[in-house]
Chain A
Amino acid sequence: MCLAIPGKIVEIASDNPHSALVDVVGMRRKVDLGLLQDDMPVSGDWVLIHVGFAMSKISEVDAIEQMRTLEMLGESEAAVQEVRGYGLEEPQDQQAS
Protein backbone atom coordinates (compact mmCIF):
# COMPACT_ATOMS: atom_id res chain seq x y z
CA MET A 1 0.00 0.00 0.00
CA CYS A 2 2.88 2.36 0.69
CA LEU A 3 4.65 1.35 -2.50
CA ALA A 4 5.19 4.06 -5.07
CA ILE A 5 5.15 2.46 -8.48
CA PRO A 6 6.54 4.27 -11.53
CA GLY A 7 4.55 4.17 -14.78
CA LYS A 8 4.49 5.88 -18.15
CA ILE A 9 1.30 7.47 -19.42
CA VAL A 10 0.34 5.88 -22.71
CA GLU A 11 -3.01 7.49 -23.36
CA ILE A 12 -5.41 9.81 -21.59
CA ALA A 13 -9.05 8.79 -21.90
CA SER A 14 -10.93 10.97 -24.37
CA ASP A 15 -14.12 10.88 -22.29
CA ASN A 16 -12.44 11.42 -18.89
CA PRO A 17 -9.30 13.58 -18.58
CA HIS A 18 -8.69 12.13 -15.10
CA SER A 19 -8.30 8.58 -16.37
CA ALA A 20 -5.19 7.39 -18.18
CA LEU A 21 -3.79 4.16 -19.51
CA VAL A 22 -0.39 3.70 -17.86
CA ASP A 23 2.39 1.27 -18.73
CA VAL A 24 4.20 -0.36 -15.79
CA VAL A 25 6.94 -2.76 -16.94
CA GLY A 26 4.90 -3.72 -19.98
CA MET A 27 1.59 -4.04 -18.15
CA ARG A 28 -1.14 -1.55 -19.04
CA ARG A 29 -3.73 -0.48 -16.55
CA LYS A 30 -6.07 2.45 -15.96
CA VAL A 31 -4.77 4.91 -13.39
CA ASP A 32 -6.54 7.93 -11.89
CA LEU A 33 -4.95 11.34 -12.55
CA GLY A 34 -7.33 13.32 -10.32
CA LEU A 35 -4.62 14.15 -7.76
CA LEU A 36 -2.47 15.78 -10.46
CA GLN A 37 -5.22 18.11 -11.70
CA ASP A 38 -3.17 21.23 -10.88
CA ASP A 39 -0.36 20.07 -13.13
CA MET A 40 -1.87 17.53 -15.49
CA PRO A 41 0.52 15.12 -17.14
CA VAL A 42 0.37 14.32 -20.85
CA SER A 43 1.03 11.14 -22.81
CA GLY A 44 4.65 10.12 -22.48
CA ASP A 45 5.07 11.59 -18.96
CA TRP A 46 6.17 9.39 -16.07
CA VAL A 47 4.26 9.31 -12.79
CA LEU A 48 4.55 7.66 -9.37
CA ILE A 49 1.43 5.66 -8.56
CA HIS A 50 -0.02 4.87 -5.12
CA VAL A 51 -3.03 2.52 -4.89
CA GLY A 52 -4.15 3.27 -8.45
CA PHE A 53 -3.75 7.05 -8.24
CA ALA A 54 -0.88 8.99 -9.83
CA MET A 55 0.57 11.10 -7.04
CA SER A 56 3.49 12.92 -8.63
CA LYS A 57 5.21 13.47 -11.95
CA ILE A 58 8.80 12.30 -12.15
CA SER A 59 11.57 12.15 -14.76
CA GLU A 60 12.23 9.01 -16.80
CA VAL A 61 15.63 8.58 -15.12
CA ASP A 62 14.02 8.70 -11.66
CA ALA A 63 11.27 6.32 -12.80
CA ILE A 64 13.85 3.73 -13.84
CA GLU A 65 15.72 4.24 -10.57
CA GLN A 66 12.49 3.83 -8.60
CA MET A 67 11.86 0.47 -10.28
CA ARG A 68 15.42 -0.57 -9.40
CA THR A 69 14.87 0.53 -5.81
CA LEU A 70 11.73 -1.61 -5.65
CA GLU A 71 13.75 -4.55 -6.98
CA MET A 72 16.46 -4.01 -4.39
CA LEU A 73 13.84 -3.78 -1.65
CA GLY A 74 12.39 -7.09 -2.83
CA GLU A 75 9.13 -5.28 -3.57
CA SER A 76 9.04 -5.38 -7.38
CA GLU A 77 6.88 -8.50 -7.46
CA ALA A 78 4.43 -6.96 -5.01
CA ALA A 79 4.37 -3.83 -7.19
CA VAL A 80 3.64 -5.86 -10.31
CA GLN A 81 0.96 -7.81 -8.46
CA GLU A 82 -0.60 -4.56 -7.27
CA VAL A 83 -0.69 -3.07 -10.76
CA ARG A 84 -2.00 -6.32 -12.24
CA GLY A 85 -4.82 -6.18 -9.75
CA TYR A 86 -5.94 -2.64 -10.71
CA GLY A 87 -9.39 -2.76 -12.23
CA LEU A 88 -10.14 -6.11 -10.53
CA GLU A 89 -8.44 -7.76 -13.48
CA GLU A 90 -7.69 -11.04 -11.75
CA PRO A 91 -10.07 -13.51 -10.16
CA GLN A 92 -10.29 -12.78 -6.44
CA ASP A 93 -9.05 -16.16 -5.32
CA GLN A 94 -5.77 -15.73 -7.16
CA GLN A 95 -5.24 -12.34 -5.59
CA ALA A 96 -5.80 -13.69 -2.12
CA SER A 97 -3.16 -16.38 -2.49
Chain B
Amino acid sequence: MKYVDEFRDPELITKAAEEIKRLAEPKKHYRLMEVCGGHTHAIYRFGLKDVLPPNIELIHGPGCPVCVLPMGRIDDALSISADPHVIFAAFGDMMRVPGTNGSPLEHKARGMDVRIVYSPSDAIKLAKMNPQKHVLFFAIGFETTAPSTALTLMRAKSEGLHNFSVFCNHVTIIPAIRAILDSPDMRLDGFIGPGHVSTVIGCRPYEWIAKNERKPIVVCGFEPLDLLQSIVMLLTQLQKGEAKVENQYKRVVPWEGNRAALRAMAETFQLRPYFEWRGLGFISQSALRIRDEYAEWDSEQRFHIPGIRVTDPKAAQCGEVLKGVLKPAQCKLFGKECTPENPVGALMVSSEGSCAAYYNYEHRKAALVANIGSAA
Protein backbone atom coordinates (compact mmCIF):
# COMPACT_ATOMS: atom_id res chain seq x y z
CA MET B 1 0.00 0.00 0.00
CA LYS B 2 1.52 3.24 -1.19
CA TYR B 3 0.89 5.77 1.54
CA VAL B 4 0.62 3.55 4.56
CA ASP B 5 3.20 5.51 6.57
CA GLU B 6 1.33 8.76 6.08
CA PHE B 7 -1.91 7.43 7.48
CA ARG B 8 -3.24 8.69 10.75
CA ASP B 9 -3.38 5.25 12.33
CA PRO B 10 -1.13 2.81 10.53
CA GLU B 11 -1.71 0.28 13.30
CA LEU B 12 -5.46 0.52 12.87
CA ILE B 13 -5.04 0.12 9.11
CA THR B 14 -3.02 -3.05 9.60
CA LYS B 15 -5.55 -4.31 12.12
CA ALA B 16 -8.49 -3.65 9.78
CA ALA B 17 -6.67 -5.38 6.92
CA GLU B 18 -6.05 -8.43 9.12
CA GLU B 19 -9.68 -8.43 10.22
CA ILE B 20 -10.76 -8.43 6.56
CA LYS B 21 -8.52 -11.43 5.85
CA ARG B 22 -9.96 -13.23 8.87
CA LEU B 23 -13.58 -12.53 7.90
CA ALA B 24 -13.31 -13.34 4.19
CA GLU B 25 -14.01 -17.02 3.73
CA PRO B 26 -11.36 -18.37 1.35
CA LYS B 27 -13.83 -20.37 -0.73
CA LYS B 28 -16.12 -17.41 -1.34
CA HIS B 29 -15.73 -14.60 -3.84
CA TYR B 30 -17.07 -11.27 -2.60
CA ARG B 31 -18.26 -8.57 -4.98
CA LEU B 32 -18.72 -5.24 -3.21
CA MET B 33 -19.74 -2.09 -5.06
CA GLU B 34 -18.54 1.34 -4.00
CA VAL B 35 -21.28 3.57 -5.36
CA CYS B 36 -19.46 6.90 -5.15
CA GLY B 37 -16.83 8.10 -7.62
CA GLY B 38 -14.95 9.75 -4.75
CA HIS B 39 -14.50 6.32 -3.20
CA THR B 40 -13.32 4.87 -6.53
CA HIS B 41 -10.69 7.60 -6.75
CA ALA B 42 -9.61 6.99 -3.13
CA ILE B 43 -9.38 3.20 -3.62
CA TYR B 44 -6.97 3.58 -6.55
CA ARG B 45 -5.08 6.52 -5.08
CA PHE B 46 -4.39 4.70 -1.81
CA GLY B 47 -3.71 1.39 -3.51
CA LEU B 48 -6.27 -0.28 -1.24
CA LYS B 49 -6.56 -3.27 -3.55
CA ASP B 50 -3.05 -4.26 -2.50
CA VAL B 51 -4.16 -4.89 1.09
CA LEU B 52 -7.35 -6.76 0.24
CA PRO B 53 -7.37 -10.53 -0.21
CA PRO B 54 -7.83 -11.55 -3.87
CA ASN B 55 -11.32 -12.90 -3.27
CA ILE B 56 -12.64 -9.44 -2.41
CA GLU B 57 -13.50 -7.66 -5.62
CA LEU B 58 -14.46 -4.00 -5.60
CA ILE B 59 -16.91 -3.04 -8.34
CA HIS B 60 -16.96 0.63 -9.24
CA GLY B 61 -20.42 2.15 -9.26
CA PRO B 62 -22.21 4.92 -11.15
CA GLY B 63 -21.55 7.75 -8.68
CA CYS B 64 -19.58 10.09 -10.92
CA PRO B 65 -22.03 12.74 -12.17
CA VAL B 66 -19.80 14.02 -14.97
CA CYS B 67 -19.30 10.46 -16.25
CA VAL B 68 -22.96 9.51 -16.44
CA LEU B 69 -24.08 12.71 -18.19
CA PRO B 70 -25.09 12.01 -21.81
CA MET B 71 -23.18 14.03 -24.37
CA GLY B 72 -26.46 15.33 -25.83
CA ARG B 73 -27.07 17.35 -22.65
CA ILE B 74 -23.81 19.23 -23.16
CA ASP B 75 -24.70 19.79 -26.81
CA ASP B 76 -28.15 21.10 -25.82
CA ALA B 77 -26.75 23.59 -23.31
CA LEU B 78 -24.02 24.73 -25.70
CA SER B 79 -26.59 25.24 -28.46
CA ILE B 80 -28.42 27.76 -26.23
CA SER B 81 -25.12 29.40 -25.36
CA ALA B 82 -24.30 29.91 -29.05
CA ASP B 83 -26.40 33.07 -28.67
CA PRO B 84 -23.86 35.85 -28.01
CA HIS B 85 -26.17 37.24 -25.32
CA VAL B 86 -25.80 34.06 -23.26
CA ILE B 87 -22.99 33.30 -20.81
CA PHE B 88 -22.40 29.59 -20.21
CA ALA B 89 -21.34 29.10 -16.57
CA ALA B 90 -20.31 25.76 -15.08
CA PHE B 91 -18.01 24.15 -12.53
CA GLY B 92 -14.43 23.54 -13.63
CA ASP B 93 -15.07 19.77 -13.85
CA MET B 94 -17.34 20.33 -16.84
CA MET B 95 -14.97 22.44 -18.90
CA ARG B 96 -13.06 19.64 -20.60
CA VAL B 97 -15.99 17.26 -21.02
CA PRO B 98 -16.45 16.68 -24.74
CA GLY B 99 -19.64 17.55 -26.58
CA THR B 100 -20.14 16.51 -30.21
CA ASN B 101 -18.36 19.64 -31.43
CA GLY B 102 -15.90 19.96 -28.59
CA SER B 103 -15.85 20.77 -24.89
CA PRO B 104 -17.08 24.03 -23.30
CA LEU B 105 -13.44 25.12 -23.15
CA GLU B 106 -13.03 24.54 -26.89
CA HIS B 107 -16.21 26.52 -27.52
CA LYS B 108 -14.71 29.31 -25.41
CA ALA B 109 -11.61 29.26 -27.60
CA ARG B 110 -13.94 29.69 -30.60
CA GLY B 111 -15.53 32.77 -29.03
CA MET B 112 -18.35 31.52 -26.81
CA ASP B 113 -18.70 33.32 -23.49
CA VAL B 114 -17.87 30.43 -21.15
CA ARG B 115 -17.06 31.03 -17.48
CA ILE B 116 -15.95 28.79 -14.66
CA VAL B 117 -17.78 29.27 -11.39
CA TYR B 118 -16.98 27.44 -8.17
CA SER B 119 -20.40 27.96 -6.64
CA PRO B 120 -23.90 28.41 -8.07
CA SER B 121 -24.09 31.63 -6.00
CA ASP B 122 -21.38 33.01 -8.21
CA ALA B 123 -23.45 32.33 -11.31
CA ILE B 124 -26.04 34.68 -9.76
CA LYS B 125 -23.30 37.21 -9.09
CA LEU B 126 -22.21 36.89 -12.71
CA ALA B 127 -25.78 37.62 -13.85
CA LYS B 128 -25.89 40.76 -11.70
CA MET B 129 -22.52 41.89 -13.07
CA ASN B 130 -23.75 41.37 -16.65
CA PRO B 131 -27.32 42.71 -16.69
CA GLN B 132 -27.34 42.95 -20.51
CA LYS B 133 -26.61 39.20 -20.81
CA HIS B 134 -28.31 35.98 -19.74
CA VAL B 135 -26.35 33.59 -17.50
CA LEU B 136 -27.06 29.88 -18.04
CA PHE B 137 -25.78 27.86 -15.09
CA PHE B 138 -25.06 24.25 -16.11
CA ALA B 139 -26.04 22.42 -12.91
CA ILE B 140 -24.71 18.92 -12.37
CA GLY B 141 -24.30 16.49 -9.52
CA PHE B 142 -26.09 14.08 -7.21
CA GLU B 143 -27.80 15.11 -3.98
CA THR B 144 -24.48 16.58 -2.80
CA THR B 145 -24.77 19.63 -5.04
CA ALA B 146 -28.52 19.71 -5.83
CA PRO B 147 -29.44 21.56 -2.57
CA SER B 148 -27.04 24.39 -3.43
CA THR B 149 -28.69 24.75 -6.84
CA ALA B 150 -32.08 24.67 -5.09
CA LEU B 151 -31.19 27.56 -2.75
CA THR B 152 -29.76 29.46 -5.71
CA LEU B 153 -33.05 29.08 -7.62
CA MET B 154 -34.98 30.28 -4.57
CA ARG B 155 -32.72 33.30 -4.30
CA ALA B 156 -33.03 34.15 -8.01
CA LYS B 157 -36.82 34.07 -7.63
CA SER B 158 -36.95 36.08 -4.41
CA GLU B 159 -34.62 38.70 -5.85
CA GLY B 160 -36.54 38.81 -9.14
CA LEU B 161 -33.39 38.16 -11.13
CA HIS B 162 -34.53 37.79 -14.74
CA ASN B 163 -31.29 37.23 -16.65
CA PHE B 164 -30.40 33.93 -14.99
CA SER B 165 -31.47 30.32 -15.52
CA VAL B 166 -30.38 26.82 -14.57
CA PHE B 167 -29.85 24.00 -17.07
CA CYS B 168 -30.60 21.21 -14.64
CA ASN B 169 -28.80 17.86 -14.88
CA HIS B 170 -29.11 16.81 -11.27
CA VAL B 171 -29.50 13.07 -10.79
CA THR B 172 -30.44 10.94 -7.81
CA ILE B 173 -28.45 7.99 -6.54
CA ILE B 174 -31.12 5.53 -5.39
CA PRO B 175 -32.68 4.80 -8.85
CA ALA B 176 -29.18 4.19 -10.25
CA ILE B 177 -28.50 1.59 -7.55
CA ARG B 178 -31.90 0.04 -8.31
CA ALA B 179 -31.12 -0.12 -12.02
CA ILE B 180 -27.84 -1.87 -11.30
CA LEU B 181 -29.49 -4.38 -8.97
CA ASP B 182 -32.19 -5.05 -11.58
CA SER B 183 -29.62 -5.78 -14.24
CA PRO B 184 -29.70 -9.52 -15.03
CA ASP B 185 -25.93 -9.88 -15.46
CA MET B 186 -25.20 -8.30 -12.10
CA ARG B 187 -24.27 -10.17 -8.93
CA LEU B 188 -23.28 -8.11 -5.90
CA ASP B 189 -22.85 -9.05 -2.25
CA GLY B 190 -22.99 -5.59 -0.68
CA PHE B 191 -22.52 -1.86 -1.09
CA ILE B 192 -20.09 0.73 0.21
CA GLY B 193 -22.58 3.61 0.43
CA PRO B 194 -21.78 7.17 -0.68
CA GLY B 195 -20.57 9.56 2.02
CA HIS B 196 -21.47 13.08 1.02
CA VAL B 197 -24.71 12.23 -0.79
CA SER B 198 -25.79 10.64 2.49
CA THR B 199 -25.05 13.88 4.35
CA VAL B 200 -28.11 15.17 2.47
CA ILE B 201 -30.39 12.14 2.06
CA GLY B 202 -29.38 10.35 5.28
CA CYS B 203 -29.33 6.55 5.62
CA ARG B 204 -33.05 5.74 5.51
CA PRO B 205 -33.38 5.75 1.67
CA TYR B 206 -31.05 2.73 1.54
CA GLU B 207 -33.27 0.55 3.72
CA TRP B 208 -34.99 -1.14 0.74
CA ILE B 209 -31.59 -2.45 -0.39
CA ALA B 210 -31.25 -4.26 2.93
CA LYS B 211 -34.91 -5.28 3.34
CA ASN B 212 -35.99 -6.11 -0.20
CA GLU B 213 -32.74 -7.04 -1.88
CA ARG B 214 -31.13 -8.59 1.21
CA LYS B 215 -27.83 -6.79 0.57
CA PRO B 216 -25.83 -5.06 3.31
CA ILE B 217 -24.86 -1.42 2.77
CA VAL B 218 -22.43 0.66 4.84
CA VAL B 219 -22.29 4.44 4.41
CA CYS B 220 -18.59 5.22 4.32
CA GLY B 221 -16.08 8.06 4.73
CA PHE B 222 -13.17 8.81 2.41
CA GLU B 223 -10.07 7.96 4.42
CA PRO B 224 -8.33 4.63 3.82
CA LEU B 225 -9.31 3.51 7.31
CA ASP B 226 -12.96 4.41 6.63
CA LEU B 227 -12.99 2.22 3.53
CA LEU B 228 -11.32 -0.73 5.26
CA GLN B 229 -13.61 -0.43 8.30
CA SER B 230 -16.64 -0.38 6.01
CA ILE B 231 -15.43 -3.56 4.32
CA VAL B 232 -15.03 -5.15 7.78
CA MET B 233 -18.61 -4.13 8.60
CA LEU B 234 -19.92 -5.57 5.32
CA LEU B 235 -18.06 -8.87 5.76
CA THR B 236 -19.28 -9.13 9.36
CA GLN B 237 -22.88 -8.79 8.18
CA LEU B 238 -22.33 -11.30 5.38
CA GLN B 239 -20.77 -13.80 7.78
CA LYS B 240 -23.79 -13.52 10.09
CA GLY B 241 -26.20 -13.71 7.16
CA GLU B 242 -27.48 -10.20 7.94
CA ALA B 243 -28.50 -7.37 5.61
CA LYS B 244 -28.64 -3.98 7.32
CA VAL B 245 -27.91 -0.34 6.61
CA GLU B 246 -25.00 0.80 8.77
CA ASN B 247 -23.33 4.19 9.07
CA GLN B 248 -19.55 4.11 9.31
CA TYR B 249 -19.33 7.87 8.57
CA LYS B 250 -21.27 9.02 11.64
CA ARG B 251 -18.91 11.92 12.24
CA VAL B 252 -20.40 13.63 9.18
CA VAL B 253 -23.58 11.77 8.15
CA PRO B 254 -26.69 12.06 10.35
CA TRP B 255 -29.10 9.12 9.98
CA GLU B 256 -31.91 11.51 8.99
CA GLY B 257 -29.82 13.55 6.53
CA ASN B 258 -30.05 17.32 6.18
CA ARG B 259 -33.72 18.29 6.34
CA ALA B 260 -33.16 21.91 5.32
CA ALA B 261 -31.39 20.68 2.18
CA LEU B 262 -34.19 18.20 1.41
CA ARG B 263 -36.83 20.94 1.89
CA ALA B 264 -35.01 23.24 -0.54
CA MET B 265 -34.87 20.42 -3.11
CA ALA B 266 -38.57 19.63 -2.65
CA GLU B 267 -39.46 23.31 -3.09
CA THR B 268 -37.64 23.73 -6.40
CA PHE B 269 -37.33 20.28 -8.03
CA GLN B 270 -39.53 17.38 -9.04
CA LEU B 271 -38.59 13.99 -10.44
CA ARG B 272 -38.37 13.63 -14.20
CA PRO B 273 -40.32 10.60 -15.49
CA TYR B 274 -37.06 9.27 -16.91
CA PHE B 275 -33.55 10.43 -17.73
CA GLU B 276 -30.75 9.00 -19.81
CA TRP B 277 -27.52 7.94 -18.08
CA ARG B 278 -24.39 7.39 -20.10
CA GLY B 279 -23.53 3.73 -19.95
CA LEU B 280 -26.76 2.73 -18.19
CA GLY B 281 -29.43 3.99 -20.59
CA PHE B 282 -32.81 5.42 -19.55
CA ILE B 283 -33.67 5.10 -15.86
CA SER B 284 -37.14 5.94 -14.51
CA GLN B 285 -37.45 8.80 -12.01
CA SER B 286 -33.71 9.13 -11.73
CA ALA B 287 -33.21 12.86 -12.26
CA LEU B 288 -34.57 16.21 -11.19
CA ARG B 289 -36.31 18.88 -13.22
CA ILE B 290 -37.17 22.38 -12.10
CA ARG B 291 -40.75 22.87 -10.88
CA ASP B 292 -43.13 24.99 -12.95
CA GLU B 293 -43.22 27.60 -10.15
CA TYR B 294 -39.59 28.28 -11.11
CA ALA B 295 -40.12 27.99 -14.90
CA GLU B 296 -38.64 31.42 -15.52
CA TRP B 297 -35.33 30.22 -14.10
CA ASP B 298 -35.37 26.88 -15.96
CA SER B 299 -33.25 27.05 -19.13
CA GLU B 300 -35.19 24.11 -20.59
CA GLN B 301 -38.54 25.89 -20.22
CA ARG B 302 -37.19 29.28 -21.19
CA PHE B 303 -35.23 28.38 -24.32
CA HIS B 304 -35.76 26.08 -27.26
CA ILE B 305 -33.84 22.87 -26.58
CA PRO B 306 -32.92 20.74 -29.59
CA GLY B 307 -33.03 17.55 -27.45
CA ILE B 308 -29.90 16.13 -29.02
CA ARG B 309 -29.20 12.44 -28.46
CA VAL B 310 -25.73 11.11 -29.05
CA THR B 311 -25.06 7.41 -28.68
CA ASP B 312 -21.68 6.34 -27.39
CA PRO B 313 -19.48 4.51 -29.87
CA LYS B 314 -20.44 0.83 -29.83
CA ALA B 315 -16.84 -0.19 -29.17
CA ALA B 316 -16.85 1.68 -25.84
CA GLN B 317 -18.04 -0.79 -23.22
CA CYS B 318 -18.89 1.76 -20.52
CA GLY B 319 -22.12 0.02 -19.50
CA GLU B 320 -20.36 -3.28 -18.84
CA VAL B 321 -17.65 -1.52 -16.80
CA LEU B 322 -20.26 0.49 -14.87
CA LYS B 323 -22.06 -2.68 -13.92
CA GLY B 324 -18.82 -4.42 -13.01
CA VAL B 325 -19.15 -7.03 -15.76
CA LEU B 326 -15.84 -5.85 -17.23
CA LYS B 327 -12.79 -4.29 -15.57
CA PRO B 328 -11.69 -0.95 -17.11
CA ALA B 329 -8.66 -2.48 -18.83
CA GLN B 330 -10.83 -5.19 -20.42
CA CYS B 331 -12.65 -2.64 -22.59
CA LYS B 332 -11.39 -2.74 -26.18
CA LEU B 333 -10.72 1.00 -26.27
CA PHE B 334 -9.05 1.36 -22.86
CA GLY B 335 -5.68 3.10 -23.01
CA LYS B 336 -5.73 3.06 -26.83
CA GLU B 337 -8.44 5.22 -28.40
CA CYS B 338 -9.80 6.13 -24.96
CA THR B 339 -7.50 7.95 -22.51
CA PRO B 340 -8.05 10.73 -19.92
CA GLU B 341 -6.58 13.18 -22.46
CA ASN B 342 -8.96 12.02 -25.21
CA PRO B 343 -11.92 10.33 -23.54
CA VAL B 344 -14.26 8.37 -25.81
CA GLY B 345 -16.42 6.83 -23.10
CA ALA B 346 -18.07 8.26 -20.04
CA LEU B 347 -15.84 6.72 -17.40
CA MET B 348 -12.64 8.21 -18.75
CA VAL B 349 -13.98 11.76 -18.56
CA SER B 350 -13.58 12.65 -14.90
CA SER B 351 -10.90 11.78 -12.35
CA GLU B 352 -13.69 10.10 -10.38
CA GLY B 353 -14.62 7.83 -13.28
CA SER B 354 -13.38 4.29 -12.77
CA CYS B 355 -11.54 4.11 -16.11
CA ALA B 356 -9.71 7.40 -15.49
CA ALA B 357 -8.85 6.36 -11.92
CA TYR B 358 -7.60 2.98 -13.13
CA TYR B 359 -5.65 4.62 -15.95
CA ASN B 360 -4.04 7.27 -13.73
CA TYR B 361 -2.94 4.95 -10.94
CA GLU B 362 -2.70 1.39 -12.26
CA HIS B 363 -2.09 1.69 -16.00
CA ARG B 364 0.53 4.46 -15.74
CA LYS B 365 2.23 2.60 -12.87
CA ALA B 366 2.36 -0.61 -14.94
CA ALA B 367 3.76 1.32 -17.92
CA LEU B 368 6.42 2.88 -15.70
CA VAL B 369 7.43 -0.49 -14.27
CA ALA B 370 7.63 -1.93 -17.80
CA ASN B 371 9.84 0.97 -18.93
CA ILE B 372 12.16 0.58 -15.95
CA GLY B 373 12.28 -3.14 -16.62
CA SER B 374 13.21 -2.72 -20.28
CA ALA B 375 15.80 -0.05 -19.45
CA ALA B 376 17.51 -2.25 -16.88
Contact = CB atoms under 8 A, between A and B. Distances in A.
B251 A52 contact: no
Contacts, number: 127
Interface string B157-201: 000000000000000000000000000000000000000100110
Interface stretch (B23-31, B142-150, B275-283): B142-150
Interface in A51-97: 51-53, 55-56, 58-59, 62, 65, 68-69, 72-74, 81-83, 85-88, 92, 95-96
B301 interface: no
Contact of A59 (B42, B140, B251): B251
Contacts of A50: 144-145, 148, 196
B285 interface: no
Q: On chain B, which size bracket covers the interface? A: 35 or more
B199 A51 contact: no
A36 to B, nearest CB: 7
A92 B122 CA distance: 12
Interface in B130-147: 140-141, 144-145, 147
Interface of B: 3, 6-8, 36-38, 41-42, 45-46, 65-66, 91-93, 95, 105, 108, 115-122, 125-126, 129, 140-141, 144-145, 147-148, 151, 196, 199-200, 222-224, 251-254, 258-261, 264, 352
B260 A35 contact: yes
Interface centre among B36, B92, B118, B151, by most chain A C-beta atoms within 10 angstroms, is B118
Given A2-B36, A35-B264, 8 more contacts: A1-B91, A2-B65, A2-B352, A35-B147, A35-B151, A52-B121, A73-B222, A81-B92
Contacts of A20: none
15 contacts: A1-B141, A1-B145, A2-B352, A34-B264, A35-B264, A48-B196, A50-B145, A51-B119, A51-B120, A55-B144, A55-B147, A55-B196, A56-B254, A59-B251, A73-B41
Contacts of B118: 51-52, 82-83, 85-86, 95
